[in-house]
Amino acid sequence: MHFKIVPAIGPRYWGGIMIASICGANIGDFIPDVLKLSDLGGLLMLALMFAVIALANQWSRRGNEALYWLAILAARAAATNLADLGIHRTHLDYITVSACVAALLVAILALRRTSSLQPVTGGHPRTNGLYWLAMLTAGTLGTVLGDGIGHMIHPVTVGVPTSAIIATAAVALVLAQKTRLDMVSAGAASYWAAIVAIRSWGTNVGDIAAFLSLPVSMILSGLLRAGTLIVWREPSNPIVPAAT
């Protein structure tokens, strides 16, 4: 489960997370809307994709940063499906679902903090099972919050942009804490607050882009994701082996 190479937490990392949040939201919507798979069917497909990515990481002698970002995309898409499943299947309101998912995230982070597997070196997250579970849960919470605000304001064409503006402000506020987000333990509350806020933002921006065309938005955001990582290289060794 531990990824051998992970990107350093810095401007490039957060830029990648933001683009991945848009692309992941589009992929999550693409599965039921275009492929016509059920929520459970889509989750199973994404789980298999994540398993293949994790196995590729284990079989790779040196690892590859791309595998981490592919895993992030799979987790982001799964978070979209989980959020939809939580709302549509349970028939609970957005506030109740948000509270339940938030409580689950707090419990996972508490377990992660007390676990002997928690240590992080140089600001690089240790990508154990608890890390990916927290990433999936934080993504689900961000999706529920983004969709909840967007759908509570009518019409949706006004609610979604309004929710995007709120999420943008939240992202700016959290990312302003550079001293805590750049090179400190990935177990810090500010790190996970940023993950939730960016996921909420990505959900809204993905929905806005999907108003034009969901497949086109997914392809463009995916190309932007890949192009950004290829072109944007940190000058000071941004990619290091993950702690073991």
Q: Is the pLDDT of residue 242 over 50?
A: no
CA 178 to the chain's CA centroid? 20
Q: What's residue 210's pLDDT?
A: 62
Q: Cis link prior to 155 (omega < 30° from 0)? A: yes
Q: What is the mean pLDDT of the chain?
A: 82
Q: What's residue 46's pLDDT?
A: 96
161 token code pair:
């942009």
Strands (E), 91-131: none
Q: What's residue 178's pLDDT?
A: 55
Q: Tell me if 64 is assigned to some domain.
A: yes
Predicted TM-score of the model (pTM): 0.86
Question: pLDDT tens digits, residue range 130-170?
Answer: 899 999 999 999 999 988 888 888 776 787 888 888 888 88
Q: Which of 182, 84, 181 is nearest to 139 (CA)?
A: 84
d(CA 218, CA 29): 9
Q: Which of 67, 61, 46 is nearest to 3 (CA)?
A: 67
Using pLDDT thresholds of 50, 70 and 90, give the confidence band for residue 235. very low
Using pLDDT thresholds of 50, 70 and 90, give the confidence band for residue 92. confident
Q: Tell me if 1 is assigned to some domain.
A: no
Q: Is the pLDDT of residue 241 over 70?
A: no
Question: pLDDT tens digits, residue range 12-66?
Answer: 888 899 999 999 999 999 999 889 998 889 999 999 999 999 999 989 888 888 9
Q: Tell me if 52 is assigned to some domain.
A: yes
Using pLDDT thresholds of 50, 70 and 90, give the confidence band for residue 234. low
Q: What's residue 135's pLDDT?
A: 95
Using pLDDT thresholds of 50, 70 and 90, give the confidence band for residue 8. confident
Q: What's residue 123's pLDDT?
A: 53
Question: pLDDT tens digits, residue range 101-122?
Answer: 999 999 998 888 886 454 444 4
**Phi, psi for residue 5 in degrees, rounded to 5:** -130, 125
Q: Tell me if 39 is assigned to some domain.
A: yes
Domain that holds residue 158: 11-231
Q: Tell me if 154 is assigned to some domain.
A: yes
How many structural domains does the chain have?
Answer: 1
Q: Which of 159, 110, 157 is nearest to 133 (CA)?
A: 110
The burial class, CB within 10 Å (0-12 / 13-18 / 19+), for 136 is buried
